[in-house]
Amino acid sequence: MYSQGLIGSGEQTTETPEFLAAFQARIDADEKIEPNDPMPAAYRKTLIRQIGQHAHSEIVGMLPEGNWITRAPTLRRKAALLAKVQDEGGHGLYLYSAAETLGVSRKQMTEELVSGRAKYSSIFNYPTQTWADIGAIGWLVDGAAIMNQVPLCRCSYGPYARAMIRVCKEESFHQRQGYEIMLKLAEGSPAQKEMAQDALNRWWWPSLMMFGPPDGASEHSDQSTRWKIKRFTNDELRQKFVDATVPQAQRLGLSLPDPALAWNEAEGRYDYGEIDWDEFWAVVKGHGPLNKARVAARKKAWEDGAWVREAALAHAKKRAARQSVAVAAE
């Protein structure tokens, strides 16, 4: 991915063992790496991959919830949902900007997404069938996103780490609005409680899959941990999420769809059942319930917006030409 014309801002560096050791020493000393600093090509590539996928996840992640904006049950719910979806658009834009500091353009990244080649989080390929799904997404999906993203605020790459600080604050609000929707439904009529339980049943396992493959199958974890891009492994974060979420489900009076879920006194954590990794990989490889529809929706938006991009560019060029005439006349 992005093999041509990519290494933009940083200087080309000969990657001698001394250079690699000096770079690792900066990481080990917890120094932040900034856009124009020399960095190994593989570090740059890994960040472009992860930040690009993360940006796409935010942008595609607007679709499942956007589906319910016109059907939110009250004005208050509609206003909160609109704000949440708008925040997600903002997160995508910060993240595309963070990736651009590494020498890839937003246009390149978007073309990867709309051609179906780019990855984005598996979770957004599942449908939102009822209003309770909006509660479940806020509670579980944003809850999982926060668990994964808080450590990214300490990521070694400065622009990514700084973007994550604001993103995490906003995700906290999202998580609470989702939990509050679930609470109201769980304390409502039997039909509302049933709707909340059904949403939890459908979103629980896909939420656990958000953390990525198990540690033994995670291709990038070791190197990303050495570079302090990742601070915890996929399984460590998944476990933290389970431990934090089980008591929240208990408070709601809802049950998690996992018969193997049990408190492990000796380890001080919850044991949970086996994740269906076949389902995970099928969704990651494009065969989830809505992969094709999600990519088609983003492609349509990109094509429909072409005239806006052209007009903005024409305006910018005209302005630049006027300014250069004015400077020449001074």
Site membership for ligand FAQ, residue 112 (CB under 6 A)? no
Rounded to an integer, what is the distance from CA 212 to the centroid of its chain?
A: 12
Of 12-20, 74-82, 98-106, 206-214, the window that binds ligand FAQ (rule: CB under 6 A) is 206-214
Q: Give least dist CB 198 to ligand FAQ, A.
A: 19
Site membership for ligand FAQ, residue 125 (CB under 6 A)? no
Task: Please report the beta strands in the chain, taking only residues with DSSP state E, as ranges in sequence order.
Answer: 262-264, 269-271
Rounded to an integer, what is the distance from CA 149 to the centroid of its chain?
A: 8
Give the H or E element holding residue 95. helix 75-100
Among residues 126, 15, 20, 155, which one has the least CA distance to residue 65?
126
Chain position whose Cβ is nearest to ligand FAQ: 61
Which residues, including other chains, have CB under 8 Å from residue 156's CB and lie 6 or more apart?
27, 30, 31, 32, 33, 227, 228, 229
Separation CA 115–CA 280 (nearest Å): 21
Of 215-223, 286-294, 307-315, 318-326, the window that binds ligand FAQ (rule: CB under 6 A) is 215-223
Among 43, 44, 50, 246, binds ligand FAQ (CB under 6 A): 50
Among 2, 52, 58, 128, binds ligand FAQ (CB under 6 A): 58
Separation CA 304–CA 161 (nearest Å): 33
Contact 231, 154 (CB under 8 A): yes
Of 19-27, 73-81, 119-127, 185-193, the window that binds ligand FAQ (rule: CB under 6 A) is 119-127
Site membership for ligand FAQ, residue 44 (CB under 6 A)? no
Shorter beta-carbon distance to ligand FAQ: residue 108 or 224: 224
Site membership for ligand FAQ, residue 213 (CB under 6 A)? yes
3-class DSSP assignment, residue 262: strand
Shorter beta-carbon distance to ligand FAQ: residue 67 or 192: 67
Site map 221..250 versus ligand FAQ, x via CB under 6 A: x--x---------x----------------
Within 127-156, the residues that bind ligand FAQ by CB under 6 A are 137, 141-142, 145, 148
